[in-house]
Amino acid sequence: MTEAEEQPPTRQEQIFSLHRYFVSANWMRTCFDKWLDEQGKPEVPVGEPFIFMGYWYAGLYVVIEGWQELKLTDKVIDTLLASPNVGLLKRYRHGVCHFQGRYFDDRFMGFMSTELTAVWVRKLNQEFGRWFLAWLAENKRAGERQS
């Protein structure tokens, strides 16, 4: 183990790390949206669009976990995270990342059973994106002031 690995990560490093998870989740959203734009909404929740959607949702839940662990705050994001959809998204993430014997397991279908969750997850994704862009811009300016 190197000396750098022995030191606990700085707050800034932890947020950069969380940003990496957001970028990965958001890339899956981009792939999902591209598929929808090209093919239209599928009638049955199977195949490629649901691979993209599943990993987007699972990755976004990891961002929620990191947000909470790091005790980050933002009025809009915190309001969205007060929703019971967070618990549904956690179950969905477990369905994606842990084997389920039923193809249409309740962990998937519970989250997808209403259009409101789709609106909520898109809004949450958008707000995380807004927050990270602002945070990165502020930290770039802080770095420039220190130079």
DSSP per residue over 97-122, as a string?
Answer: HS--SSTT-HHHHHHHTSHHHHHHHH
How far apart (Å, rounded) are the C-alpha atoms in residues 107 and 88?
A: 8
Any domain includes 26: yes
Q: Look at the alpha carbons of 62, 63, 68, 70 in this order and tell me if their dihedral is positive or negative.
A: positive
Any domain includes 106: yes
The rounded radius of gyration (Å) of the Cα atoms in the chain is 17
Residues 83-96: pLDDT tens digits? 999 999 999 888 87
Any domain includes 86: yes
Average pLDDT value for residue range 10-38: 96
In this prediction, residue 100 carries a pLDDT of 72
How far apart (Å, rounded) are the C-alpha atoms in residues 126 and 132?
A: 10
In this prediction, residue 69 carries a pLDDT of 98
Any domain includes 16: yes
pTM of the model: 0.85
The tally of domains found in the chain comes to 1
Any domain includes 123: yes
Structural domain of residue 49, as residue ranges? 10-140
Tokens of 146: 């220190």
Residues 48-93: pLDDT tens digits? 888 999 999 999 999 999 999 999 999 999 999 999 999 999 998 8
